[in-house]
Chains A and B, each alone.
Chain A
Amino acid sequence: MAILNIRNLTVRFATATGSFTAVDGVDIRVDRGEVLAIVGESGSGKSVSMLAVMGLLPDTATVTADEMTYDGRDLLAMTAAERRRLIGREITMIFQEPIASLNPAFTVGFQIEEVLRLNLGLGRREARARALELFRAVGIPSPEEKLKSYPHQLSGGQCQRVMIAIAIASKPRLLIADEPTTALDVTIQKQILDLLMDLQEDYGMALILITHDMGVVAETADRVVVQYKGRKMEDADVLSIFESPQNPYTKALLSALPENATGDRLPTVSDFFAAEAAR
């Protein structure tokens, strides 16, 4: 059963030199409790399609789709107020730069309690207790103390844990993580991915992981969507993508991984397209 279903999504940006199509007729479906990885390089439109779902695109963007439904409800036809009740509660998002995502002028405790009070209507004391619970759930050491810390006093990994705590505060049914570990060291990346996967299983929420890192995809996804220049190239379960990729771009991307190198030089994506064109 699909929790998010998008058909023929197109996002255009009005620019000084005319209209630019960032996402071009993309279909994305996520089932309940499923982990979907959207993979692509910069400019593939992987973030833009999810920002369209969240309603976070600037005014210069035009979003059109044949269908964009969350749990059977039409996101495009919703009023702004209805959408606000959904976004940030049932659908939440975390971003690449955890330190930049938090407000430097307030303690992280204040920021998570604000979400709990505004979104869930908790009182001050309840919010404090729940914040503590959430900090424990995401594995922040000495949580009582950390609630009183400002973002700059925490490491990147800890800030990302705070962001995750805020994102799961309302027990969302869909969490969108946009490159959540790109700015982090590998050992911290592992901890954060393990945490996201544990939470995903415990809460039974669907997780959309936007990434450029095939390693992250291999370690987390159930299903994978590969995007290139705003178009969907391939959509398959994770094993098929790595074992028997169908699309030439997916094949090229996998053969460009240094760990798959067989010869002296790495095959590149442009070599691949040149070979395809020559055939």
Chain B
Amino acid sequence: MSAVVLEGRRLVQDYHVPGGLFGGAKTVRALKGIDFKVEKGKTLVIVGESGSGKSTLARIIALIDAPSDGELLIDGQRVDISKTRPGPAMRSKVQMVFQNPYGSLNPRQKIGNVLMEPLVINTDVPADERRARAEAMLVKVGLGPEHFNRYPHMFSGGQRQRIAIARALMLNPSLLVLDEPVSALDLSVQAQVLNLLADLQDEFGLTYVFVSHDLSVVRYIADDVMVISEGVAVEQGTREEVFADPKHPYTRQLFAATPITDVEAIRARVARRKAAKAAKAA
């Protein structure tokens, strides 16, 4: 068994909704005690629908928000950002890629500066070295050094997501948190970005925490799957376990609702529809 890179113990997140003109303050418990472990080089996929708390969990893992309760361990070391701000070393370990590549890049910042900024903040790498690394990273994600001086609006959605991934990789992280990284992309571009992520994982031994609602993507990339609903992890297991034999009713409901592109299923549906039409005509 390889090393556990990331571990969560009874993670809880409360959001306090302040009282307004028409009501008192209330507390929403978005995560109700989540436990998980991810091994080095593996991909954990967090599946859930809107409001399930999957992005809340992703933000905790990416060290953006502090959990209300519970422990987060990275490389076996307890991290509590509510007490001490994570230093450059910890920031370099964990990076995040967001869903919307149109919203996550500053429209006024050149791509080169987007990529070099993490180095400026977290390291003391000299300027010419920063530039060299940024150009090399552009090549790595399938773009080119000529893109260095361009602005985000000059790129397509898929290219922007590549840039966001490149930015996240600039500090050589060991853990990448990806919040719905391909949901905003077209099918053919989605395939390219998923391939890129697989290549990078092989090359750098990256560990991924991948948030998704799309079960066909989950099935393709996951090693381990966690299904969460209303802040509770209702099902956890390896991809094979979860897909072959879903235990929780919610998981089964999710599977049943996912459209299938299987030819036999289409044949059956077309036949049913023809029969219904014939019955109506008769």
Binding site for B on A (CB under 8 A): 41-42, 156, 185-190, 193, 201, 212-219, 222, 237-239, 242-243, 252-254, 256-261, 264-270
Contacts and interface: CB of A to CB of B under 8 A. Distances in A.
Contact of A267 (B191, B213, B220, B273): B191
Contacts of B269: 218-219
Q: Which 9 A-B pairs have the closest CB atoms?
A: A215-B259, A269-B188, A258-B220, A41-B186, A185-B49, A266-B191, A190-B257, A256-B191, A259-B216
Contacts of A254: 261
20 contacts: A41-B187, A186-B258, A187-B253, A187-B254, A190-B257, A217-B261, A219-B259, A222-B273, A238-B266, A239-B267, A243-B263, A243-B266, A254-B261, A256-B188, A258-B191, A265-B195, A266-B195, A267-B191, A268-B191, A270-B192
Interface string B244-276: 000000000110111111110111011001001
Contacts of B267: 239
Contact of B213 (A186, A201, A212, A266): A186
Interface in B83-123: none
Given A185-B213, A190-B257, A41 B188 contact: yes
Nearest to A256: B191
B198 interface: yes
Most chain A C-beta atoms within 10 Å of own C-beta, residue among B191, B219, B254, B270: B191
A258 B220 CA distance: 6
Interface in B182-217: 186-192, 194-195, 198-199, 213, 215-217
Interface string B43-58: 0000001100000000
Contact of B257 (A186, A201, A217, A238): A186
Most chain B C-beta atoms within 10 Å of own C-beta, residue among A189, A238, A258, A259: A258
Nearest to B186: A41
Nearest to B188: A269
B107 to A, nearest CB: 19
Contact of B191 (A188, A189, A238, A269): A269
A185 B258 CA distance: 10
A265 B49 contact: no
Interface size class of B (residues with CB under 8 A): 35 or more
Nearest to B274: A222
A219 B259 CA distance: 6
Given A187-B49, A212-B186, A218-B266, A266 B260 contact: no
Contacts of B49: 185-188
A218 B220 contact: no
A190 B260 CA distance: 11
B211 to A, nearest CB: 14
Give the interface SS of chain A, mostly helix, strand, loop or mixed.
Answer: helix
Contact of A257 (B221, B253, B261, B265): B261
Interface of B: 49-50, 157, 186-192, 194-195, 198-199, 213, 215-217, 219-221, 253-254, 256-263, 265-267, 269-270, 273, 276, 280
B257 A189 contact: yes
B194 A42 contact: no
Contacts of B257: 186-187, 189-190
Nearest to A190: B257
B88 to A, nearest CB: 34
Contacts of A252: 188
Contact of A268 (B195, B221, B256, B262): B195
Given A258-B194, A259-B216, A242 B187 contact: no
Given A256-B190, A267-B191, A270-B192, A186 B215 contact: yes
Contact of B260 (A212, A218, A238): A218
B258 A215 contact: yes
B198 to A, nearest CB: 6
B248 to A, nearest CB: 14
A239 B260 contact: no
B276 A201 contact: yes
Nearest to A44: B186
Nearest to B195: A265
Contacts of B280: 201
Contacts of B270: 222, 237-239
Contacts of B187: 41, 212, 214, 253, 256-257
Contacts of A261: 220
B191 A259 contact: no
Nearest to A189: B257
A42 B184 CA distance: 11
A251 B239 CA distance: 28
Contacts of A257: 187, 216, 261
Contact of A258 (B157, B199, B216, B256): B216
B220 A259 contact: yes
Given A190-B257, A242-B263, 7 more contacts: A187-B253, A190-B256, A237-B270, A239-B270, A242-B266, A257-B187, A269-B188
Nearest to B157: A42
A270 B188 contact: yes
Given A215-B216, A268-B195, A253 B253 contact: no
A269 B195 CA distance: 13
